[in-house]
Structure 1
Amino acid sequence: MAEEMTGGCQCGRIRYRATVDDDEAYLCHCRMCQRATGGVSIAFKSIAKTRVAWEREPDLYRSSPIAERGFCSTCGTPLTFWFPDAPHMDLTVGSFDDPWRFKPTSHSGSESWHRDWLDTSPLPASRTDENPNVVRRWMDKVGKLPD
């Protein structure tokens, strides 16, 4: 079932609306994505370019001879990956305002994955609001924790 979803960068300068048909997403582990994000992988939602409307177009970086990446030059948020000649693009799952609906259904770039980072669920976990150093800093600066 099609649903309109919104998203954008961390600072709010770049915003989009996307019509999403399903919950499928994927993780890319290729070295280019690792370098572009500084992470071991990135979560993407593939979507037809015609189903994305930008309030403000992302800044573009020609990351290779065959692809471009959209990002915000103010806050640095990675937003997209696409081949200019393809009808689909990838939006970063984390840039959606409500990313919780998406489920990973596949991996790409598995030649570069870090196997130890694939399932970290057994590791100890803590919430941001349980870290007194982080809470104090947020409360001192803005009087509340971030959304």
Structure 2
Amino acid sequence: MSEQQTLQGQCLCGAVSLEATVQNQSVGACHCSICRKWGGGPLMALECGDDVKFGGEAHIGVFNSSEWAERGFCRDCGTHLFYRLKGGGFHAIPAGLFANEQWQFDHQVFIDEKPAYYDFANTTKNMTGAEVFAQFGASQE
């Protein structure tokens, strides 16, 4: 797989389809409390820029989860579709929406919020919430 690749996916019921250009072969896990509350565990996602197109947009619900980001889901089946920055430039698309097993799980964010009841065996780059905010030049408040 090349570094950038355009992939197609869809929600469980097929009402929403998407086409996204993934930035690399990396899958990351977000352990923030919002991701864990949203899906019952960490969000396992691929990083995409703004090159994401959706079909069936009437079926997409959007939840403003913070001052800087929002989350999309299928209104019919509940499938998580994206986490994206409101200012643009970044989408995290759940890895399970795409049929591919060639990716590498190589980074975890908000590692300081990960609960003790699970661990991954992979060796990854780990970033705290403060380090993530610093990377994006944002304030936590």
The equivalent residue for 2:56 is 56
The equivalent residue for 1:143 is none
Give the alignment's TM-score, normalised by structure 2: 0.75
The equivalent residue for 2:110 is 109
Larger Rg: 1
The equivalent residue for 1:29 is 31
Residue 18 (structure 1) aligned with residue 20 (structure 2): yes
> Residues 1-147 of structure 1: matches in 2 within 5 Å?
1=2, 2-39=4-41, 41-49=42-50, 51-57=51-57, 58-96=60-98, 98-119=99-120
* AA partner of residue 56 (structure 2): R
* Structure 1 Cα separation of the partners of residues 115 and 102 of structure 2: 25
Q: CA deviation at 1:78?
A: 0.9
* Structure 1 Cα separation of the partners of residues 110 and 24 of structure 2: 22
Structure 2 residue matching 1:22: 3-state secondary structure: strand
Structure with more of its chain in strand, by fraction: 2
Task: Work out whether residues 72 and 79 of structure 1, in 8 Å CA contact, stay in contact via their aligned partners in 2.
Answer: yes
Structure 2 residue matching 1:47: 3-state secondary structure: strand
Give 5+ residue unaligned stretches, structure 1.
122-147
Q: Cα RMSD (Å) of the superposition?
A: 1.8
Task: Work out whether residues 93 and 102 of structure 1, in 8 Å CA contact, stay in contact via their aligned partners in 2.
Answer: no
Deviations 1:61-80 (A, max 9, x none): 11122210010111111110
Q: CA deviation at 1:7?
A: 0.8
Which portions of structure 1, spanning 4 or more consecutive aligned residues, are displaced by more than 4 angstroms?
none
Structure with more of its chain in helix, by fraction: 1
Q: How many residues align?
A: 118
Give 5+ residue unaligned stretches, structure 2.
123-141
Structure 1 residue matching 2:75: 3-state secondary structure: coil
